[in-house]
Amino acid sequence: MNLEDRIIRSISLRKGTVVLRSELAPLGSAAQITRVLAQLLEKGKLVRVSKGVFAKTRINKFTGTLTVAGSLENIASETFRKLGIPVRPGRLICEYSERKTTQMPVELVADTGKRRISRKIEVAGMMVKYENDRTRTAQ
Q: Are residues 127 and 75 in the same domain?
A: yes
Tell me, yes or no, whether 92 lies in a domain: yes
Nearest CA-CA partner of 118 in 110, 14, 10: 110
Cα gap 80→18, rounded to integer Å: 10
Nearest CA-CA partner of 2 in 27, 34, 31: 27
Q: pLDDT in tens for each of the 139 residues of the chain?
A: 799 999 999 999 999 999 999 999 999 999 999 999 999 999 999 999 999 999 999 998 899 888 899 888 899 999 999 999 888 888 777 787 788 888 877 778 888 888 888 889 999 889 998 888 766 555 5
Q: pLDDT value at position 54? A: 97
Q: pLDDT value at position 138? A: 55
Q: Are residues 79 and 119 in the same domain?
A: yes
> Do the strands 88-89 and 108-111 form a parallel or antiparallel pair, or are they unpaired?
antiparallel
Q: pLDDT value at position 136? A: 58
Cα gap 64→129, rounded to integer Å: 30
Tell me, yes or no, whether 137 lies in a domain: no
For residue 55, the domain's CATH number is: 1.10.10
Give the residue numbers spanning the domain of 79: 71-131
Encoded amino acid at 61, one letter:
K
